[in-house]
Structure 1
Amino acid sequence: MSAEDSEKAYTSSAGNSDVPEYVGERTVNQKAAERFGIFAPIMEKLFDYGVEARGVERVLENERDPKLLWNNLFMWWSVNCVLTTVPIGALAQAFFTLSFGNACATIFCFGALGAAFTSGIATLGPKTGLRTMVIARFSSGYIGGIIYSIFNILTQLGFATTCVILGGQSLAAVRPDTLSLEGGVAIVAVLSVIPCFVGYELLHRYERYVWAPILLVMLFLWGLGGKAGYHVTAQKALEDPAGRFLAGDVLSFGGIVFGSFTGWAPVAADYNCKLPVDTSAWAVFFMTFFGLYLPICFISILGAALMTITDPAYVAAYEDGSMGGLIAQVLTPWGGFGKFLLVVLALSVIANNMVNTYSTGISIQALGRPFAVVPRMFWTLVGFAAYTIAGIVGREHFSDILSNFLSILSYWTAFFMVITLEEHFIFRRKGGPLGGYNLDDWDSPSKLPLGVAGILAGCCGVAGAVVGMAEVWYIGPIGVLAGNPEFGGDLGFELAAIFAGVSYPLLRSLEIRLMGR
């Protein structure tokens, strides 16, 4: 089907206009609903009520909206200016005995690296009109795109699980005798899924404004923590003074920080694909960069600062209720108003979880045509059920889940980003071996790259992660040399990126020479 035919067949996201658009004698909603067979009348009615009809399909140039550019900045601010960002900084002392100063330095440096890579992926949205997992098909083929989609589904469900656990912890801390932790988890999960069921437009509308009141509450937390007494040198005595041991802790915590930024890379283009193709790549880059870097740094450093409070009541609150319990203790001096702020913070995770939930549905559709014909909102509900169950089961192990999840997350996102960006800047550049993208091929396996180069380079990335990682359950032969021999130092994401970055251009050049695509 040509691009012109595609435009006639499907001209806009359904349900976003009060006046129905017509394609021949049928509305756009009717046309979009036809692909759902016997469910078409139900789907058409949902689309008429404003539920997003679009799934994983490419957004054509005549469907783009330049006004969405500023939404990019505000969306990422809202997504990351949330309660779930606070515990990231706390892990510096809870797991790696870093002092406050070294924790801040690690957050600033590894955060800048992660934000830059993720912002680079975001620039591909306007250029292609495609979701991130579909863009991956142009480097790793249809099968490689499926593999990355599976990784991303697990990633978004992992993020969502941490969201509902921490939100549930905080809600339960408001009325511990009335609301159970399981109940708090369920409340956060249900409130997160409703906007995602409707779709892209409502999600963007919500994210445009919600960051402002949450930022104010975060400032309150900074002030109340100061009143309790920050002791920024409290962990200095616990920090290993030896250069190698300290380096290992910095590398391991740095991997977690990097993962907290690059966890958004597999969905970064999803929220820019409706921008015009001529949108400045630098504008998209910096909107994404600052939307990620400023709130994550500001709030994760708050988490590190709260961990320096040595008052026994605050230490006990963290030991008994993890980060949710500690934040509840910080807000205690304000009595009832403090409990109200705790509820606001607990519900702030919805902004983060909406993106996880929405992109889970899109990534499931990206698994292939059989999945793409199932409505996006159905897959959204499947993701909701999965992370709600996981959150209830893992509700007592938040810190362990977060630290292990973010570390492992940084491994695959590192080689995924390198491969995707090398494809774009080396092989798809103007004047390069392929000279650009034939975007009409996005769902044609026979016209996409075979994917052998991308898959093999990904395997090289996995090998780099294995030899460089330092986890509780496994330390690689290089990771063990980077820190304390007992715990090692995590070089997993760095080696994953290097191994994939070196191997992909060589393998892809050979693939193009042999296959021509």
Structure 2
Amino acid sequence: MADLYPDKEKAASSSDGGVAVTEAHIEERAPETVIVQRFGRFGGWMAKLFDHGVEARGIERVPEDERESKNVWNNLLMWWSVNTVLTTIPIGVLAQEFYTLTFPHAVATIMCFGALGGVCTAFIATLGPQTGLRTMVITRFSSGYVGGTIYSILNILTQLGFSTTAVILGGQTLASINPGTLPLVVGIIIIGLCSLVPCFIGYNMVHIYERYAWIVTFIVMLFLWGLGGRAGFDIGAQKGLEDHGRALSADVLSFGGIVFGSFTGWAPVAADYNCRLPVSTPPLKVFLLTFFGLFIPICFVEILGAALMTITDPAYTSAFAEGSTGGLLGQVLSPWKGGGKFVLVLLALSVVANNIPNTYSTALSIQALARPFALIPRFVWTLLAFAIYTIAGVAGREHFSEILSNFLSILSYWTAFFIVIVAEEHLIFRRRGGPLGGYNLADYDTPGRLPLGVAGILAGCFGVAGAVVGMSEVWYTGPLGRDAGTELYGADLGFELAAGFAAVTFLPLRYLEIRLTGR
């Protein structure tokens, strides 16, 4: 740690910010004590929560000698649980539903764009053990305090969007088990409440749940593969519906952007769940376990969704037309009668594993907005996040496919330039022997010692510009996106251009910022 961040001790003892650093140091070491003292008459109640296992730590840095977890394999199991879930299936379904891709082209797109997205997210995950910080706080070292606030806002919207789609799909599936008996609204609330409990308790409970949740859902996915094969996968059934030439390329690029977003949607939270690993944990090990924890289950389940769309039996096509993905899954499991309904319950509850990191990290991102937000305990923001996405799920429950398609496309735009900016800062400017030579980690909550953020914010703006000119959505198609596709349908180049524009502009702007300000 000392080699990577050579100025840490100097920063901690400097006279111009000693009070702030000392306060931050106390919060890092004993966050529960600080919170209890801060809230006076409510302090005793909060102390009881902490005594019963509720996590007190929010976005405060985890000191090296207080890292709790030494099992880096939890990284693999967590992401495996998070993505071996019901909510991953509809992404594969979109390949045929919206983009008319045949099964082979859907598989190739999922694996290629998935590998790219997995690499990006796995890199961000390696920063957790190295810094002991949450992801949104790490962004302050490349884009300043203001830039970090902007990223936190984007991440709050991202995680709430993920949560909304999760509770809608879970609620739809519960409601489809015995139509007419359980209202969809009640199903959505049930999924939301189940997601809330581990997140309210905190980091350790999240990892305990995710360590084992994948076992049942992975077996269920194998059941779906088997029952789908029994119904009859017809790999060539969609050949006549698929576009050709330039239109096919546009379909692949647009669906690829959605797949990329399904992987990089976890990048803004990837460091949140391993910041308590020892600093000595090899970054390559963290990278590989995160990558395969994402790539294998996401590809496995998204390809399942694409495969189920190749079933041509009229009962199955009618079930999808009437009940979307939930209806199709109900039909796939129908040969098992009561047993199939039980499996549907397990599938519906599987989204809890997916929604837990969304809920937990939303609270952390709210704390990262600014110091006043960080003063309020994490679990309070967890309750607020639960209320927001549950209400949004109830309001948007009839428009799941449209929400999923548009949300994941837009999501890939900002995560692309966010990843590029953080990566360039870490690999170029903060490397040993680089212009800054490392991180002064004690500065994470001291705006005066962080970068001004002008370079990061401007590069992000250029990334937005790249996304705008390259995007292809139902409601808008950029000029380059239109040129890359056909007259009727553009090709979505949004995340590629967002990353490219940000990468090219951040380097010179950051060099200039460092030369003028020294930070």
Partner of 1:289: 291
Instruction: Say if 1:61 and 1:420 are closer, same or farther in 2 by CA, change over 3 A.
Output: same
Partner of 2:95: 92
Q: How far has the Cα of 1:8 moved from its partner?
A: 7.2
2:337 match: secondary structure: helix
- Conserved in 2, the CA contact under 8 Å of 1:29 and 1:48? no
Q: How far has the Cα of 1:11 moved from its partner?
A: 6.3
Q: Is 1:9 the equivalent of 2:26?
A: yes
Q: How far has the Cα of 1:35 moved from its partner?
A: 2.9
Match of 2:130 among 127, 130, 148: 127
Partner of 2:5: none
2:486 match: secondary structure: coil
Partner of 2:469: 467
Q: Distance in 1 between matches of 2:155 and 2:74?
A: 23
Q: Is 1:428 the equivalent of 2:430?
A: yes
Q: How far has the Cα of 1:10 moved from its partner?
A: 4.7
Instruction: Say if 1:8 and 1:96 are closer, same or farther in 2 by CA, change over 3 A.
Output: closer
Q: Distance in 1 between matches of 2:57 and 2:415?
A: 26
Q: How far has the Cα of 1:39 moved from its partner?
A: 2.3
Q: Distance in 2 between matches of 1:423 and 1:29?
A: 33
Q: Which residues of 2 match residues 16-95 of structure 1 at below 5 A?
A: 29-95=32-98
Partner of 1:23: none
Q: How far has the Cα of 1:489 moved from its partner?
A: 0.4
- Conserved in 2, the CA contact under 8 Å of 1:75 and 1:291? yes
Partner of 2:275: 273
Q: How far has the Cα of 1:464 moved from its partner?
A: 0.3
Q: Distance in 1 between matches of 2:500 and 2:41?
A: 50
Q: How far has the Cα of 1:484 moved from its partner?
A: 2.0
Match of 2:413 among 389, 411, 414: 411
Q: Deviations over 1:182-234 (max 9, x none)?
A: 11111101111011000010010000011011100000000000111111111
Task: Return the letter of the residue paired with 2:507.
Answer: P
Q: Distance in 2 between matches of 1:308 and 1:184?
A: 29
- Conserved in 2, the CA contact under 8 Å of 1:11 and 1:63? no
Partner of 1:251: 253
Partner of 2:390: 388
Q: Deviations over 1:267-287 (max 9, x none)?
A: 000011101112100000001
1:67 match: secondary structure: coil
| Runs (5+) with no aligned partner, structure 2 | 1-10, 14-20
Q: Distance in 1 between matches of 2:361 and 2:33?
A: 25
Partner of 2:141: 138
- Conserved in 1, the CA contact under 8 Å of 2:102 and 2:238? yes
Q: Distance in 2 between matches of 1:418 and 1:270?
A: 19
Runs of 4+ in structure 1 off by over 4 angstroms are 3-8, 10-13
- Conserved in 2, the CA contact under 8 Å of 1:317 and 1:325? yes
Q: How far has the Cα of 1:5 moved from its partner?
A: 5.4
- Conserved in 2, the CA contact under 8 Å of 1:267 and 1:359? yes
Q: Distance in 1 between matches of 2:29 and 2:254?
A: 46
- Conserved in 1, the CA contact under 8 Å of 2:418 and 2:460? yes
- Conserved in 2, the CA contact under 8 Å of 1:36 and 1:374? no
Q: Is 1:206 the equivalent of 2:209?
A: yes
Q: Which residues of 2 match residues 430-449 of structure 1 at below 5 A?
A: 430-449=432-451
Q: Distance in 2 between matches of 1:396 and 1:324?
A: 13
Instruction: Say if 1:499 and 1:37 are closer, same or farther in 2 by CA, change over 3 A.
Output: farther
Partner of 1:230: 233
Match of 1:263 among 262, 265, 275: 265
Partner of 1:502: 504
| Runs (5+) with no aligned partner, structure 1 | 14-27
Match of 1:514 among 509, 512, 516: 516
Q: How far has the Cα of 1:49 moved from its partner?
A: 1.0
Q: How far has the Cα of 1:29 moved from its partner?
A: 3.9
Instruction: Say if 1:451 and 1:2 are closer, same or farther in 2 by CA, change over 3 A.
Output: same
- Conserved in 2, the CA contact under 8 Å of 1:472 and 1:487? no
Task: Return the letter of the residue paired with 1:210.
Answer: A
Pairwise CA RMSD: 1.4
Q: Distance in 1 between matches of 2:117 and 2:41?
A: 45
Q: Distance in 1 between matches of 2:45 and 2:460?
A: 41
Instruction: Say if 1:179 and 1:499 are closer, same or farther in 2 by CA, change over 3 A.
Output: same
Count of matched residue positions in the alignment of Structure 1 and Structure 2: 502
> Which segment is superposed worse, 129-138 or 2-11?
2-11
Q: How far has the Cα of 1:481 moved from its partner?
A: 1.4
Task: Return the letter of the residue paired with 2:110.
Answer: I
* TM-score (norm. length: structure 1): 0.95
Instruction: Say if 1:6 and 1:274 are closer, same or farther in 2 by CA, change over 3 A.
Output: farther
Q: Distance in 1 between matches of 2:28 and 2:479?
A: 54
Partner of 2:117: 114
- Conserved in 2, the CA contact under 8 Å of 1:61 and 1:277? yes
Partner of 2:179: 176
Q: How far has the Cα of 1:120 moved from its partner?
A: 0.4
Instruction: Say if 1:37 and 1:141 are closer, same or farther in 2 by CA, change over 3 A.
Output: farther
> Which segment is superposed worse, 482-491 or 337-346?
482-491
Q: Distance in 2 between matches of 1:461 and 1:424?
A: 18
Q: Deviations over 1:301-325 (max 9, x none)?
A: 0000001111111111111111011
Partner of 1:157: 160
Q: Which residues of 2 match residues 290-369 of structure 1 at below 5 A?
A: 290-369=292-371
